[in-house]
Structures are given as C-alpha cells and as structure tokens.
Amino acid sequence: MIGVISRSTEIEAVEEFFQLFKTPWEFFREGQVYDVLIATTDQIPEIGVKTILSYGSEIKSSDRGAKVKTSSTWHGAKLDFRGTQIPIYGDLLGFEAGGSGVLGVVGKSEFSGLQLNSAGVTIFRFGYDLFAEVGRLLKTGQPIEHARTPTLELHIAIMRDSILSSGIELIEIPAVPAGYEFTVCLTHDIDFVGIRLHFFDHSMWGFLYRSTVGAVREFGRGRISLGRLVRMWRAAGSLPFVYLGWMKDFWLPFEWYLKIEEGLSPTYFLIPFKHRAGDKVLGRHANRRATAYDVTDLRDWTARLLEEGCELGVHGIDAWHDVEKARSELERVAGVTGRRDMGIRVHWLLHDDTTYRVMEEAGYSYDSTAGYNETIGYRCGTTQPFRPLGARELLELPLHIQDGALFFPERLGLPESEAWQLCREIVANAKHFGGVVTVLWHDRSPGPERFWGEFYARLVQELKSMAVWFASGGRTVSWFRARREVVFERVGATVRAKRCSGEMMGLPPLTLRVHRPDSSLTRTAGRAAGSAQAVDICWTGGTEIALDALLGGVPRPQTADICPLTTGCDL
C-alpha cells in the first residue's frame, strides 16, 4: 500500500493521478503501515517505511537530513528520463550528484532526481511539483511544441520504476483490457453530407480551386502524384453531373466508412442544428462554422449506422459554453437516434475553462474534444480517458490523431510518408503505456479533393493486425469507468481489490499486473508490459481479490473470476 502526503490544494490532482496509475494507495493515516510513502509537503513523518518519494521544487528541511545538496532552479526546463525528455511546466530544482542521479536536466550538468539511502530507507528526491504538473496537464494542457510527449504517462513511469528499483513488488491495473495491447477508437466528425447541399457557396468554390489550380501547385511542389492530379481534375469536371443527380455525390462518406470499418464500432458525431455558426466564435471566417445539414436530414442513415453497430454522438455547436444550448443539442440528436446516453465532440474543438462543467450539467456521458487542430499528440499528456478537474462524472476521451492536422497545408501539411511515421509513433506509445488511440477522420477525407481515404484504410488495416480492442467512444469510456470503480481497501492486515458494481457487464476483463522488482538500468522509459518482470492475470471484477496472495512467487487463481492470461482463459 502506498501512503500519500500532499497539500490540500493537490487533493483532486492526487486522486485523478491514481486513477490513471491504478495501484493500491491511500492518503496517509497515522498508525498505518506503508511500503511506500509519497510526500509533497516539507515534513515527512518518521515511520517504518521502506521507500520514500519526495517531490518538490523548493528546498525542504528533510533535504538536510538526507544530505541533499541543491544547486539551481529553472522554470520550464526538461527532464531526461533514460533518454526520453519530459517537459516540466513549473519550477524545477536541481541537485548536485550526492547520490545516484536518476533524472537529469536536459542541457545541464545537474540532476533533478536522486536516489539515496538513509538509515536503511531508500529515498527518491525529485525537484518538481508532481501533482501541480498533473493539475496543469489535465486543466490547461500542453503547448503544441510538446504535443507528441505523453508527459503524464511518463510521470507515472518514473514513479513505477522508482518503486520497483527499490526492491518493492507492485500491483497495478493497467489501462488495457485483458489480452489486448491497447484500445482503438475510430471517430468521424460529420460536417458535410454531400456537395449537392453546397451550390455557389464558399465550400463549392474552395473545392473547385483546390481541385484545379491548387492541385497543379501541389503537383509542382511534389506533394501529390500525377495520378492524384488527374483524379482531382476528373472530380472537378464531374461536378455538374453530380448536381444534376447523374453521378454519385462524392461527399457522402457513409458507405465507404462502413466497408472499411466493418465490425470495428466507429463513432459518428453529428451536427444538431444547421445554419448555426454558434456564439463566441472568433476569427474572420467564423460564419463558415455553420453547416448545410443537421441530424434530422439523416434519419435513414442514422438508422442504418445504428444497425451496423456504430455509435452516434453530438457534434456540438454551443455546447462548450452554454448549458441550455448544450442540453438542446443533446436532445436534438437523441430525438433522432432514440438514445440519450451519448458523448460529444465540439465542432472546431472549441472549449474554455467552463466547458466540462457545462457539458456535465447538460447530461453528456463523455467529451472527446481534448485534442489539437494544428498537430497530433497528447493535449493533456495522457493516452487514457480521464476525469477533468472540477467534473464529477464526465470523462474526457482524448483525441490523438486527426486527418486535417496531418495533411492540411496550413497545419502540419505532411507528405503521407512522414504522416505515417507520426502515426506509428502514437501507436508505439500506446503499446508502451496502454490507453487509447483515438482517431478522427472527417466525412470529406476519403473523397475529392482530399483523397486521404487510402491512408486511413492503411492505418485501420495496420491496427487490425495488432492485438487491439476496437470500441466505440461510449464503450471505451465504459471500460475505463469500470476500471475506475475498482477500490483498494484494508481488511485487517490484508489489502483487497473490489469493484463497486460487480461484473463487467459485457466489457472485456481487467488485468491485474504483478510487477517484480527489476534493478536493471537498461530499461526503456515507461516499459510496463511484456517483460519477464511482470505477471498478468485477467479479472472480471465479480469477486474481491486479496492482493497479498498475488505477491511473492507465481500468483495462483483464487476463484473462477480470475486466471493467468497465459492459460488463454475466456472469462
């Protein structure tokens, strides 16, 4: 059991951190026995504990007793964690190497993480404010320059590895369903449902320009092939016949997506009201946010999508800042789909400090707006759905990969080869840390003039070749809610794990991972699975588990509710 001593202002961040790093812990209580003590305050009680992790960018009175020598303080520096750089958004305190340096400071000779031994206790002294960093990530997010760093997951990796390197076994419920490497959530924002709805407007003229003059320019720059150029010209030439109804509307995406994603449970976010640009939208093209369709125009398609196992959600207009409008947008889509329990992603990814409170009050189950328009990566530093600070029940399903961010010239504007490498980087992180890869591909992307469909089909096929769980946004969030419902509690001298709601209700089982101490210094940052130092057990959550029985040696199943994953059980 881990005991945590924190400032009163850090309580919410502490609680959410340990939902993401799901391991037995509690706030420190006098008289209780702990294997590990995590402290952010100045005073650390003298108790019989094996390992102490002390965090803070200020000099502490306990530093003198441990003979820690401080050096400089920096703001906005980066840590070097076994070759991986981790941005620190607050102050960072440096130390002279009076012990074993475990965290370097990029570009500096000092360390900001030391491992020391004092009177038989292993002490890790880290020179940053961990839970303040967690709070910033979950509330403000990361700037674009650090978008590709899963910063919060790396903070978890530092804590996990520190505990293991001190010789203590650790039990964790990782952020992956039993038997899988990670989860994939395929999503689509539906902004257009046919070019026939756009006659002599900016969308039509923009399409014609990009398919003709713009296409020649892109070909001259070597960004598109001759074959792509010809396809774009053909699409532009076919436009009169599309308007006359003699040719298929190439901006209708549903049939194509249903074929590519058969059985993969994608999520479609639909516009609730057409011809509404929304309030508080800044910029000279704010009026272009209004769409020419809304969900009531898609009754046949919504029925078909639901029959095919797809999930439908709200592509919000004003739901990010107004409770009544958020509620009316939810009711509008629910009136067509017949389902009120749904998620939302705001059109243009608009949000402010009140957004999560507004959405929660309006009755949304989850939001999936936390992402970047300009790039791909980890806006809040995590691969996992999380509860935004200040929310009670609403979960955020973070967005990681977006087509427009990859390919639009005014954004990353990447050739497909470079875009593929960035996507593989996101997937590799998911393999390391677990969690979700949330992909957004827009309605127009498979067709002209974008022709980003082949790239998407290749990405989906690549993901299908891996041991991943494909799930809708709602199912993904439900699984993570089930994981969050696990509580660790003391029963006498035993620590037990139990789920508040019993069985997993048709969701994949959880994993109980028993980490063995590993003193190797060659581990990569964040390695958590697949090594000889970890044993995985699947658990449906139907019964309480005495965690002590899983430690020391090979864990044995206690009931039919759990079994080692290596047996191939199908719980």
Average pLDDT value for residue range 308-322: 98
Instruction: Give residue 553's pLDDT.
Output: 59
Of the candidates 451, 477, 503, which is a domain's last residue? 477
Cβ proximity of 443 and 192 under 8 Å? yes
What angle do helix axes 416-433 and 151-165 make, rounded to 10 degrees? Answer: 40
The residue among 549 and 179 whose pLDDT is bigger is 179
Residue 537 lies in a domain: yes
What lies within 8 Å, CB to CB, of 77 at 6+ separation is 88, 92, 105, 106, 107, 108, 112
Say yes or no: 402 and 515 in one domain: no
Please tell me the distance from the alpha carbon of residue 338 to that of residue 53, in angstroms, as a whole number: 51
Residue 508 in this model has a pLDDT that exceeds 90: yes
Report residue 9 as tokens.
């202002």
HSE toward the beta carbon, residue 37, CA cutoff 13 A = 24
Please tell me the distance from the alpha carbon of residue 156 to that of residue 163, in angstroms, as a whole number: 11
Instruction: Give residue 100's pLDDT.
Output: 85
Kindly report, residue by residue over 509-563, the tens digit of the pLDDT: 999 999 988 644 334 444 444 344 788 988 888 888 888 878 775 555 555 455 6
Of the candidates 434, 459, 477, which is a domain's last residue? 477
Say yes or no: 233 and 299 in one domain: no
Q: Are strands 84-87 and 121-126 parallel, antiparallel or unpaired?
A: unpaired
Residue 104 lies in a domain: yes
Of 501, 494, 503, 499, give the one whose Cα is nearest residue 546: 494
Instruction: Give residue 403's pLDDT.
Output: 98
CATH number at residue 317: 3.20.20.370
DSSP string for 270-317: E-SSTT---SS--STTGGGG--S--GGGGHHHHHHHHHTT-EEEEEES
Burial of 107 (0-12, 13-18, 19+ CB in 10 A): exposed
Q: Are strands 494-499 and 545-546 parallel, antiparallel or unpaired?
A: antiparallel
Cβ proximity of 474 and 311 under 8 Å? yes
Instruction: Give residue 557's pLDDT.
Output: 52
Kindly report, residue by residue over 405-464, the tens digit of the pLDDT: 999 988 999 999 999 999 999 999 999 999 999 999 999 999 999 999 999 999 999 999
Task: Give the rounded percent of residues in the chain with a pLDDT score beyond 70.
Answer: 93
Instruction: Give residue 556's pLDDT.
Output: 54
CATH number at residue 112: 3.40.50.880
Residue 437 lies in a domain: yes
Report residue 271 as tokens.
């516009």
Torsion-angle region of 116 (φ positive above 0: left; ψ -120 to 50: alpha; else: beta): beta
Strand-pairing partners, residue 507, are: none
Enclosing domain of residue 140: 2-172
Sign of torsion over alpha carbons 422, 349, 270, 228: negative
Please tell me the distance from the alpha carbon of residue 277 to that of residue 290, in angstroms, as a whole number: 4
Say yes or no: 283 and 223 in one domain: no
CA distances in angstroms from 454 to 179, 195, 218, 228, listed in the order given: 29, 21, 18, 12
CA distances in angstroms from 433 to 21, 26, 122, 144, 154, listed in the order given: 11, 23, 26, 21, 9
Say yes or no: 71 and 60 in one domain: yes
Instruction: Give residue 518's pLDDT.
Output: 64
Please tell me the distance from the alpha carbon of residue 260 to that of residue 456, in angstroms, as a whole number: 9
Residue 380 in this model has a pLDDT that exceeds 60: yes
φ/ψ of 487, rounded to 5, equals: -120, 150
Residue 398 lies in a domain: yes
Sign of torsion over alpha carbons 144, 146, 151, 153: positive
Of the candidates 438, 457, 477, which is a domain's last residue? 477
Instruction: Give residue 532's pLDDT.
Output: 42
Confidence of residue 503 (pLDDT cuts 50, 70, 90): low
Say yes or no: 237 and 287 in one domain: no
Residue 401 lies in a domain: yes
Residue 18 in this model has a pLDDT that exceeds 80: yes
Residue position matching structure tokens 């900001």: 112
The residue among 549 and 343 whose pLDDT is bigger is 343
Residue 177 lies in a domain: no
Kindly report, residue by residue over 106-143, the tens digit of the pLDDT: 999 889 999 988 778 899 999 999 999 999 999 999 99
Residue 264 lies in a domain: yes
Average pLDDT score, the chain: 91
Say yes or no: 232 and 341 in one domain: no
Say yes or no: 219 and 275 in one domain: no
Burial of 102 (0-12, 13-18, 19+ CB in 10 A): buried
How many domains are contained in the chain? Answer: 4
Average pLDDT value for residue range 468-494: 93
Cβ proximity of 539 and 562 under 8 Å? yes
DSSP string for 129-189: -HHHHHHHHHHT---GGGTT--HHHHHHHHHHHHHHHTT--EEE--SS-TT-SEEEEEEEE
Say yes or no: 34 and 68 in one domain: yes
Q: Are strands 468-470 and 436-440 parallel, antiparallel or unpaired?
A: unpaired
Triad 359, 370, 368: Cα angle to 5°:
55
Confidence of residue 44 (pLDDT cuts 50, 70, 90): confident
Report residue 59 as tokens.
């000099």
Average pLDDT value for residue range 347-354: 96
Say yes or no: 152 and 186 in one domain: no
Say yes or no: 436 and 561 in one domain: no
Average pLDDT value for residue range 72-81: 93
Say yes or no: 290 and 423 in one domain: yes
Cβ proximity of 67 and 116 under 8 Å? yes
Please tell me the distance from the alpha carbon of residue 504 to that of residue 559, in angstroms, as a whole number: 16
Strands, sheet with 562-564, edge to edge from the N-terminal-most edge strand: 170-172, 510-515, 534-539, 562-564
Kindly report, residue by residue over 258-307, the tens digit of the pLDDT: 999 999 999 999 999 999 999 999 988 899 999 999 999 999 999 999 99
Residue 113 lies in a domain: yes
Say yes or no: 48 and 156 in one domain: yes
Task: Provide the b/e sequence for 284-306 (b: ≥16 CB within 10 Å).
Answer: eeeeebbbbbbbbbbeebbeebe
Instruction: Give residue 234's pLDDT.
Output: 93
pTM score of the predicted model? 0.93
